[in-house]
Structure 1
């Protein structure tokens, strides 16, 4: 089941982020996104009432910026990420979003493969975006 993220989801989401990504956007950041930021749209994927992943966007006018997207390690490669992404793509299309952008670590081949498969193209590189690693900025027209 996919639903909008709520405050009580934050701790579990940050635990998944830390385990899978080695870092997290942080409890305070996510709390502010859900409570303060009117442009934030976050969703969680649940199996048997347990959060297995989430995705978050900021939507400004006709553009969306993906803030983070993660599926727990033991649920990867089973189609859950694709299902969550497709759900959000349909959601943002209804809000008249015309393009999506995101940053991905240059070394994250699994994520780059997923985004390429879903129609994202490299726009440019942000040097040392992740402390000591470059980020690729990818874009997709919706």
Structure 2
């Protein structure tokens, strides 16, 4: 992974909504958490290829609210690199647990998190029905429940 840098955005920096929308359905949904999150971009040779938003749940728990890698850079290890960087950031900030949620139908995403050390621990029933105004479909299946995964730090 040559020339990769993780950079924390300042509150005055433009948010990479194009990337953020790869992981969340609408700007309105993103705006519910993004301004209370620390936003990091993954840069390669001056190009923004990834993004992650970290939201503090408590003094001990940090949630990955959004994580995405540009389509042209997916399936090349950049997502796992980004996760490793986020784990290290959370550890240095003294968090004890890193949490992430994804659709129960997102088998590829669940496998990705499990490959990177996360374990399932809870299910938020009807999350995507109650928190989004329009039904969301992935691979022809309506999203309903959110699977929560966590990794002790």
Q: TM-score, normalised by structure 2?
A: 0.76
Q: Please say which of residues 130-139 and 90-99 is displaced more in the overlay.
A: 130-139
- Which residue of structure 2 aligns with residue 63 of structure 1? 61
Structure 1: state its 5+ residue gaps.
none
In structure 2, what is the Cα distance between the partners aligned to 1:31 and 1:43? 14
- Which residue of structure 2 aligns with residue 8 of structure 1? 13
Q: Could you list the structure 1 runs, at least 4 aligned residues long, displaced by more than 3 angstroms after superposition.
A: 6-9, 24-28
- Does residue 52 (structure 1) correspond to residue 49 (structure 2)? The answer is yes
Q: Secondary structure at the match of 2:125?
A: strand
Q: Please say which of residues 73-82 and 22-31 is displaced more in the overlay.
A: 22-31
In structure 1, what is the Cα distance between the partners aligned to 2:33 and 2:61? 22
Compared CA separation, residues 94 and 44, structure 1 to 2 (3 A): same
- Does residue 140 (structure 1) correspond to residue 145 (structure 2)? The answer is no
Cα deviation per residue 1:8-67 (whole Å; 9 max; x = unaligned)?
331xx211233x34624549728962xxx3xx3221011232211111112231111111
- Which residue of structure 2 aligns with residue 41 of structure 1? 38
Compared CA separation, residues 77 and 139, structure 1 to 2 (3 A): same
Structure that is richer in strand per residue: 1
Alignment of 1:21-36 (within 5 A): 21=23, 23-26=25-28, 29=31, 33=35
What's the CA shift for 1:114?
Answer: 1.2
Structure that is richer in helix per residue: 1
Q: How many residues align?
A: 134
Q: TM-score, normalised by structure 1?
A: 0.81
